[in-house]
Structure 1
Amino acid sequence: MEIFDIIDENGNPTGKTVTREKAHTDGIPHRTAHIWIIRKKDGRVQVLLQKRSMNKDSFPGKFDTSSAGHIQAGDEPQESAIRELHEELGIQASPDQLEFAGTFPISFEKEFHGKMFRDEEIAFVYIYDQPVDISKLVLQKEEVEAVEWFDFEETCEECRKNRDKFCVPSGGFEVVKKYLERQNQQIKE
C-alpha cells in the first residue's frame, strides 16, 4: 500500500499521511516528482514522452511526462525522481544529473474505469538532459507502454488542443519553458 505525506498549500509535508487510494478518492493534497527528459536536435528542443499503460488508474494509453510518480511518505522529491526514472525507464541517474526546474499545482476531477479520480498535488519538476537511446530503455510494462521523442514547442501546442492523445500537464510545460529560457539567458551572458 502506498502512503503519501499530506501537504500544505506550499507543498510542505504537514506531518500527516494518507493512502494513495484515499488521496485520489477524496482529493487530498500530496506531492509528485516529474522528470522531463529533453535533448536538442537540429536546433530544436525535443522531449521524451511515455505512453501510459492501458491499466493505469488515470489517463490510460495517453502520452505523458517522460517519467513521473508519487513521492512516498518520508521521501524527498529528488530521491523519488531518481527512483521513478530507474523503475519506469531503466535510467540510473545520479543526483547531479537531475536539475530542479520548479513546481506547479495539479488539480482535477475526472472519471476513469467507472470511478471518480480526484487529484490535488504539487509536482516537483526535474530536467534530465543526458543522452538517451530509447532502444536501450527498460520500460516498466505495468506503467509504460512505449516512449517517443516529440518536438517540445509543437507538443506544447498539441497538448492544448488534443487531449485524446496527450495528458501532459500544461503546468509542466510552463515550468520547463521557464527553465529553457533561463538556460538560454545564461548562454547569452
Structure 2
Amino acid sequence: MSELLDLRNADGSRTGEVKERALVHRDGDLHGTAHVWLVRYRPDKGSAEVLLQKRSANKDSYPGCYDISSAGHIPAGQDFLESAMRELREELGVEAKPEELHEVFTHVGYVEDVFYGKKFINHEYSKVYLLEYTGRVEDLKLQKEEVESVRWMDYRACLDGIRNATLKSCIFEDEFEKLTAAIEEYFRKTGRPLSCAEKTGTWAEDAQNDLQDWIEEQGIYLRQ
C-alpha cells in the first residue's frame, strides 16, 4: 500500500476521507502539500536568491526537473507545518524551528501529465513557507533518493526562466509570481529592501544576465 493522504475541501480542511497516494494522483483528488522556499539575501546585488532542488532521475513524476527547495505531501493525520519541517529535515538535512518558517500564502495547483505510460493528475492545496537560510550549500545533506542536486538562483531570473521555459522545472508559474512578491515583502520588513524596476531601472537586465549565466552553465544553446 502506498502512502495514505487526507482528501481536502476547497479551503484546505480535511473531508474525512483517506486515500492511497497513487489513487489520489490517478483520480485527481485535492490533497495537501507543504512548500518551503529557502531564500538568502545578496547585499552585493541588492537582491535575493532562492534555492532550487533538482529532482532525482528516479522520481515517479517530473524526474530531473528543478523544483521547490523542499516540498512534500501531507500524510494522513499530520498538519502542514509538521510536514514542512519533516521534509526539510529528510530532503535537505535542515533542522528548522517552527517560528523560522514564515507562512506567506496558500496555493491551489492543478496539472495533468503522463509518466511512464500512466496518467498523472496533481491537484494540490499547498501552504507555502519562506525560510531564510544562512548556511552553506555544502553543509546540506541531500536525500539522494529524492534530490539530485541543489543550486541558488536569483529569484527574478528564476521567474523569467519559468515564464519562458528556459528553466526545466515543475514549478507552478502563478505560485512563483506570488512568491516573488512575498520575498520582496519579507526583506522589506526586515530592513533589506530589494532593488526593483521602479527604484533602479536595472533589475530586468540583471535578472537576464543571471539567467544567461545559468543557461551557459547548463550547456543549453538556444536556437536563434
Same fold (TM over 0.5): yes
TM superposition outliers: structure 1 runs of 4+ over 6 Å? none
TM-score, normalising length from structure 2? 0.80
Code of the aligned partner of 2:52? L
- 1:135 aligns with one of 138, 152, 157: 138
TM-score, normalising length from structure 1? 0.94
Inter-partner Cα distance in structure 1 for 2:175 and 2:108: 9
Note the C-alpha offset of 1:115. 1.0
The structure having more radius of gyration, on CA atoms, is 2
* Mean Cα deviation higher: 37-46 or 139-148: 37-46
Q: Which residue of 1 aligns with 2:33?
A: 32
Q: Which residue of 2 aligns with 1:22?
A: 23
Give the share of equivalent positions with the same residue, in percent: 41
Q: Which residue of 1 aligns with 2:10?
A: 9
Inter-partner Cα distance in structure 2 for 1:17 and 1:74: 9
Q: Which residue of 1 aligns with 2:222?
A: none
| SS class of match (2:126) | strand
- 1:104 aligns with one of 103, 107, 121: 107
Is the contact between residue 52 and residue 144 of structure 1 (CA under 8 Å) also seen in structure 2?
Answer: yes
| SS class of match (2:18) | strand
Note the C-alpha offset of 1:176. 1.6
Q: CA RMSD in A?
A: 1.5
- Extract unaligned runs of 5+ from structure 1: none
Q: With CA pairs under 8 Å and 6+ residues apart, which has the higher RCO, 1 or 2?
A: 1
Alignment of 1:34-183 (within 5 A): 34-41=35-42, 42=44, 43-162=46-165, 165-183=168-186
Matched residues, number? 188
Is the contact between residue 32 and residue 71 of structure 1 (CA under 8 Å) also seen in structure 2?
Answer: yes
Inter-partner Cα distance in structure 1 for 2:27 and 2:102: 32
Give the structure with the higher percent strand.
Answer: 1
| SS class of match (1:121) | strand
- Extract unaligned runs of 5+ from structure 2: 193-224
Code of the aligned partner of 1:16? E
Give the direction of change, closer, same or farther, for the CA distance of 1:45–1:182 in structure 2 (3 Å limit): same
Inter-partner Cα distance in structure 2 for 1:165 and 1:33: 21
Q: Which residue of 1 aligns with 2:202?
A: none
